[in-house]
Amino acid sequence: MASSFSRFSQTLLLLVVFWGITSSSNAQLSTDYYSKSCPNLFSTVKFTVHSAIMKEARMGASLLRLFFHDCFVNGCDGSLLLDDTSSFTGEKNAVPNRNSARGFDVIDDIKSAVENVCPGVVSCADILAIAARDSVKILGGPNWDVKLGRRDARSASQAAANNGIPAPTSNLNRLISRFNALGLSTRDLVTLSGAHTIGQARCTSFRAHIYNESNIDLSFAKTKQSNCPRSSGSGDNNLSPLDIQTPTYFDNKYFNNLIGKRGLLHSDQELFNGGSTDSIVRAYSKNPSSFSSDFVTAMIKMGDISPLTGSKGEIRKNCRRVN
Helix (H) or strand (E) holding 115: helix 104-117
Give the three-class secondary structure for 81: helix
Q: Which residues are annotated as a binding site?
A: 70, 73, 75, 77, 79, 91, 166, 196-197, 243, 246, 251
| Residue 69: active-site member | yes
Cα 125–chain centre separation: 11
Cβ 178 vs Cβ 164: under 8 Å: yes
In this prediction, residue 21 carries a pLDDT of 39
The percent helix, strand, coil of the chain (3-state, each to 5) is 55, 5, 40
Domain spans in the chain, listed from the N-terminal domain onward: 40-165, 172-302
* Residue 150 CA: distances (Å) to CA of 17, 188, 211: 24, 22, 43
Contacts of residue 91, Cβ cutoff 8 Å, sequence gap at least 6: 69, 73, 79, 80, 82, 97, 156, 157, 158, 160, 161
CA–CA gap between residue 188 and residue 298 (Å, rounded): 6
Question: Which regions of the chain are under pLDDT 70?
Answer: 1-27
pLDDT of residue 86: 86
How is domain 172-302 classified at the architecture level of CATH?
Orthogonal Bundle (1.10)
CATH number of 40-165: 1.10.520.10
Q: Give every CB contact of residue 126 below 8 A, 6+ residues apart in sequence.
A: 33, 34, 146, 148, 149, 150
Binding residues for substrate, as ranges, are 166
Q: How confident is the model at residue 9, as a pLDDT?
A: 46
Known binding-site positions for heme b: 196
Under DSSP, the state recorded for 201 is: E
Look up residue 139 and give its amino acid: L
Q: Which of 50, 69, 209, 266 is catalytic?
A: 69
Rounded to whole angstroms, the Cα distance separating 323 from 314 reads 8
Binding residues for Ca(2+): 70, 73, 75, 77, 79, 91, 197, 243, 246, 251
